[in-house]
Chains A and B, each alone.
Chain A
Amino acid sequence: MVERTGLAILAFLGWVGEVSLFGLRAMREAFRPPFEFAEITRQLYEVGWRSAPLIATSGFSIGVVLSMHTRASLERFGAEAMIPAGLTIALIRETGPLVTALLVSGRVGAGIGAELGAMKVTEQIDALEAVAVDSFKYLAVTRIIACILALPILTTITNVCGILGGYLAETSISGMSLELYFSRAFAVVEFSDLIPSTLKTMVFGMIIGTVACYLGFTTTQGTEGVGRTSTRSVVMSSILIILANVVLVRLIFFLFPPV
């Protein structure tokens, strides 16, 4: 049992190593011409714009729910006035970035994995190479860059919609005005809360794009393999996002110590 667990951990670490090399190669290739701007723009539309409705709806719902939970907790201490600030800090620092990354991992990671997997098993990736197009650069680098650029924007949408949802929940109970809600919400928020936690989602974007593209490029065994790739893209990128978040939060606290 112990031996089997050890072997599984070693296999996972080996796999993470391969994915990391794939991602590093993508970063190196990203700075070499040709830059494939048209394809990056198309992927930004697919990854970013088409995820926006899901992200906005989820962010709004989370804001409403967080507000209700926060009120239930703070009411016991007579600290209802802290609800806007507590909700905003929770959203901006952790909930917004993590929820956005996990949602994008589900929508985009699965999509990229399935798309590239299908292209691999139907020889479309070989066909790209045959017309003298660098398939790695055209398919993988563009998607990884799009994920890296889209995640901070989508996280900001989650945060804004979440704060608005929190306001609606709060004003429906206490009648708090929009002006008062926002002044209380941002009274304690600093740039060190907002910038590092938003920028860390670029790492999440890189994880989502790299894992999905790696699995897509290494798909085998026909349509069954494509299905497996799609599922694994979501599972593995979600695990790696959650693990990376632990390291990133520790790093943020080290670089921006809480006052």
Chain B
Amino acid sequence: MNHLRQGSDAHVDAAAHSDGDGPAIRLEGVSKSFADLKVLDDVTLDVAQGTGFCLLGRSGTGKSVTLKHIMGLMMPDAGRVFVHGKNVTELKRQELGEVRRTMGFLFQNAALFDSITVGENVAFPMRRHTDWAEEKILDTAKARLADVGLTEAFDKMPGDLSGGMKKRAGLARAMALDPDILLVDEPSAGLDPITGDEIDELLLGLKKKGTTLVMVTHNIPSARHVADELAMLHEGRIIAHGTAGELDRSDDALVRAFMRSESGG
């Protein structure tokens, strides 16, 4: 994070936010409802620093909502969410901004800014939060796009990309500031198997460099490959939590059935 703009409003020192050996992310009794629909029901989990954590579950069980709570894009009806030891549910906007600068988020539908080019999308966080020279910003944006195999898309508009390409561009933007924590929502959805594997390798590489990964996926092979720990959400509650091997041996038939799936997303 040493490239982030120095100054009272912009400097981010991840270590200062961390509570030492504590988890990078902690959810304590988080509940969330939309009208009468309870999406999260007393969810508690820890994600250790520098590890890969995968949230599994059928569609509509609150996986993406959990990611949005971690990023502070949604606030829980009950419970607390800690990132680097800071309770994001109680932070003021500026403090929340500082925490967010240590994280990257890949949205389920990529959510690229459609009025600017793909290259500008990737450069956007750097322009906002660093003092880098223009040349360095553009070089870094090109390098991030190369990481996801999209070198040729730099000058294209998001509307000109396929769904899979948008996803990869979204991942490049999420990685732009070299985040401590990367939240990825279905990274391999819409990708061909080879590109999906390349994205998995990229995520593994980031994890080896110390990035904490939280991934939502339906792709069980990918989850086994990237994640150190997995948790399965069902009807708003975590019904299983552990390594892939532990989930394989779960007493719950739904968990075992899910883990046997070889879906490629």
Residues of A that sit less than 8 Å from B by CB: 115, 118-119, 122-124, 126-134
Contact flag A127-B101 (CB < 8 Å), given A132-B128, A132-B129, A133-B128: no
| B97 CB contact (under 8 Å) in A115, A119, A126, A134 | A134
| A123 to B107 alpha-carbon distance, docked (Å) | 8
19 A–B contacts, CB within 8 A, in A order: A119-B113, A122-B114, A123-B107, A124-B111, A124-B113, A126-B68, A126-B107, A126-B111, A127-B112, A128-B113, A130-B103, A131-B100, A131-B124, A131-B125, A131-B173, A132-B125, A132-B129, A134-B93, A134-B97
Whether the pair B113, A126 counts as a contact (CB closer than 8 A) is no
| A224 to B40 alpha-carbon distance, docked (Å) | 28
Residues of A within 8 A of B112 (CB): 124, 127
Min CB–CB distance B32 → chain A (angstroms): 15
Contact flag A129-B113 (CB < 8 Å), given A123-B107, A134-B93: no
Q: Is the C-beta of B202 less than 8 angstroms from some C-beta in chain A?
A: no
Min CB–CB distance B232 → chain A (angstroms): 25
In addition to A122-B114, A131-B125, 10 A-B residue pairs with Cβ atoms within 8 Å of each other are A119-B113, A124-B112, A126-B73, A126-B111, A127-B105, A131-B124, A131-B128, A131-B176, A132-B97, A132-B125
| A127 to B114 alpha-carbon distance, docked (Å) | 12
**9 smallest A-B Cβ distances: which pairs?**
A127-B111, A123-B111, A130-B105, A132-B100, A132-B97, A131-B125, A132-B101, A126-B73, A123-B107
Residues of A within 8 A of B107 (CB): 123, 126-127, 130
Residues of B within 8 A of A115 (CB): 115
Q: Is the C-beta of B109 less than 8 angstroms from some C-beta in chain A?
A: yes
Most buried by B among A124, A132, A133: A132
| A76 to B86 alpha-carbon distance, docked (Å) | 80
| A122 to B166 alpha-carbon distance, docked (Å) | 13
CB nearest neighbor in A for B125: A131
Contact string against A for B residues 97-135, beta-carbon threshold 8 Å, 1 for contact and 0 otherwise: 110110111011101111100000000110011000000
| A130 CB contact (under 8 Å) in B73, B98, B114, B129 | B73
Residues of B within 8 A of A134 (CB): 93, 97
Min CB–CB distance B123 → chain A (angstroms): 11
Whether the pair A122, B109 counts as a contact (CB closer than 8 A) is yes
| A134 to B176 alpha-carbon distance, docked (Å) | 18
Residues of B within 8 A of A131 (CB): 100, 124-125, 128-129, 173, 176
Q: Is the C-beta of B81 less than 8 angstroms from some C-beta in chain A?
A: no
CB nearest neighbor in A for B108: A123
Residues of A within 8 A of B114 (CB): 118, 122, 124
Residues of A within 8 A of B108 (CB): 123
Min CB–CB distance A257 → chain B (angstroms): 46
